[in-house]
A and B are shown apart, each in its own frame.
Chain A
Amino acid sequence: MSRLTGNPDPLDRFFDDYVDGVLGAEDGDILSKWLLASPANVDRFVRESFLHSQLFQIMRRSEIHAEAMATPPSARAPQSAGPRSRADSKSRFRLRSPATVAGFAALLVAVGAMLLAYRFSSPATVAQVSGLSADASFEQTRDAFNVGALLPQGRAISLRRGRLLATLVSGTRVVLEGPAEVEFTDQNELRLVRGRLGADIPTHATGLLVRMPMGDVVDLGTAFTLDLPSETTCRIQVFKGMVELRPSRGRPVRIAEGTAISYDAVNDREMQIPYQPEERLSLLP
């Protein structure tokens, strides 16, 4: 396709500038008046905006597919989330694209698996996906974790990179930062296998339980970040309230607001580390 010469229709440029976020105020007024002039113009706007969103989805999906094809699963290394531009964050759009048959097939497999799982049991919904960062990618198909997706009890998430915000039925909001693995085990309970997790717990939901290989973390009315780099080490930063670490072996440790510890399960030893408020996780990197 090579018809890339000639000047675009001025109206198309208004649409493009609008969806690219660079439309000036004066041109914005012109576009607004033009849209109000006729329902047919609004129909055209709808198609333009839909095209734009689909391009984000298709191109993003193509990139993920290309990455997956280029790298054998065993060699895939997690990538850290770097700073992203505003425009980049728009790539969060998702779709089932006819152009990406593999992705669609993966979605069907996921949905099929969900239905199969439901046939044998119907676990209660314990959380909902409330947000995803632009660079979020999963070991599983991403479509199962679109914003708004409900998470049944026992649902495991392997976040390869990026961040996921989930709201538990209790009202607790947790941000997971990849690479991380977590299982939603109950309405106010999680199992963290590895990775970083930030929790913001409203008063009525106090008592969030995070299970880890080396013990549990219980919130006592708080906001905290839990970093689990290995099965035997964790770091906890407490921004509000108090957290109790309950090692599988050893005595419980209470961590107060404005403090942070590192815990070594092999030697059952906790150590004060610098408190860093900037470690508080939010959806934005």
Chain B
Amino acid sequence: MAQAIDAGERVLRIAVAGSPNAGKTTLFNRLTGLRHKVGNYPGVTVERKEGAAVIDGEMVDLLDLPGSYSLSAQSPDEEVARDVLFGWQPGCEPPDVVLIVIDAAHLERNLFLTSQIVELGYPTVLALNMVDVARAAGMVIDADELSRRLGVAAIPVVATTGEGLAELGEALLRARPSAMRVPLKPAVEAEAQRLGALLEREGVAPALASPVALRLLSSAEGLADATRQYGPALAAEVTESRRALEARGVVWLGCEASSRYSWLREVAAATVVQAARPEGLNRHDRIDRVLTHRFWGPVVFFAIMAVVFQSIYTWAGPAMDAIDSGMGAVGAWTKTHLPAGPLNDLLSDGVIAGVGGVIIFLPQILILFFFLAMLEETGYMARAAFVMDRVMSRVGLHGRAFVPLLSGFACSVPGIMAARTISNGRDRLATILVTPLMTCSARLPVYALLIGAFVPKGRILGGLVSQQGLALFGLYFLGTVMALSVAAVLKRTVLRGPTPSLVLELPPYRQPNWRNVGRELWDRAGLFVKFAGTIILSMSIVLWFLASFPRHGDGTASDIQQSYLGRAGRVVEPVLRPLGYDWRVGVACLSAAAAREVVVSTLGVLFEVGKDDADGQAKLGDRLKQATWPDGRPLFTVATAWSLMIFVALACQCMTTVGIVIQETGGWRWAMWLVAYTTALAYFGALITYQGLRLAGLG
């Protein structure tokens, strides 16, 4: 490893490791600026963040490992961090240098993972992050003493301001491995040595052999890991070692933790020269008392959520209008400046109208991600998890399931991926299967369109609450209630099992780091635009083709009723009529099987919004209001609009989601199950809504 640094032939690869809440992401963002890319580890869907940084004129690669508390990984995220460091991760070479990010104000807790990583023998550097917070709390930390004890450089830094980063860079280029080992019980030490020698014969690097052996020996999953990585013969040796320890009266399970803790308490005592005032109740605890209170906790939670959704609806308006008129102008320009013909139609009616109809929702999506990032950054997310745990545990879900479900408000795909932090297989599956019912941002365009057109603008409750905002909140609420109900049913039937416990670190409340929030929004905007430019673009072209072909003998576009799309719509119309849909709405639902944003662009094509160029683009909502059945009755009544919204709320119309479920559950079975139950739910939900509202006289 050390030679690679001196040779300077290839780019130095640095892995950034650390516990959650230590400021790892902030430091990574600081070091890499905008030079980073987000991808996936092959085989698993843990997010892989890589970036480039320039240190002393030298280009280095940084790999941001998922945050973890220890190397005896308990979730897929933590497994990736461990696998990269152990050289178990396929397609990912072990790093040249490891940078460990530590929260200086909580040195002792962070030393657990730190000591485990230092023992792996990589050239290592510690970043003592948030020393400003520690100083403000009255702590004095002896970085030199820490460095001496661990045998690696320990650099005080403040990632948020950039303090100490120059020194950190220098230390990274000069990093050397440490010979430090945490003293273990002699019997454990002997067995770890014995297994280590066997591992070396299996090709494990000498420095890694003993730490890997210790992990196999003392963690509950050690046997399974040994079998998977090194075969049954080695697993038998692990069992042998465990028996030897039992014979000597040593408990092997967790034997590592107690030795390590007694050592690191000593180190912490020697390096934290002046400890913070002893633990009494502080300001944060008093805030916590309110925010996790049995009554006030949920009140605050729902108030925050209500503000979030109200803001999405009102703040996005001006930006959306600007995008709308911009797209309209581009469409009109194309229409007049290109020669008339199929290409002109394709660009103005297919591409610009279709993609424009989706891009317009970028402001709303960014506002939602802004709030999610804020909740995470300020530390409120962990409190909300406990507030929600009371509901979650009642339906048999883990409190952590709240994070995937809340992410599901943005998009089920990252939501389902976030379910990886749930270690219990059954609970993870239940969470994955109900997350698509959470109202994702892709449903927002459909809601925005229909609510804007069919829910009155007035305010109720003395002008406090807008009716449109309330309708939107109601739809989000419906999705959430359905998700929880289905989870409750699942946990009582096919996925029956005990309710797991919620244990979370409560990070101190802090100012959001605007750099991190901005970075998150930048990434999300990029992904959404890419999505619009690929999936939505190709769908729009296909739809335009299906809607304008076959052409008449003279080459003019066929009437949409005679097109391929119209014919397909007519075939399904009888099935959808009880829901209040004609063939055009049916076509929109069919086309949305790929991605539900397409509902809006399809309606745009079918109700010919793109063709209206005389006085700018007429609003699609107005077109819907004017649409009629063949006999002249209005097509879109309040009942139809709500029926369609309920359908969209409950159906899993998203190929990407189905894809990610296949990947995360390891097969088609549960994905097909998901599609079947959501479609049934959507059909009957819409049926009841439409027929009910008609009976109430709103049809």
A binds B: no
Residues of B within 8 A of A (CB): none
Residues of A within 8 A of B (CB): none
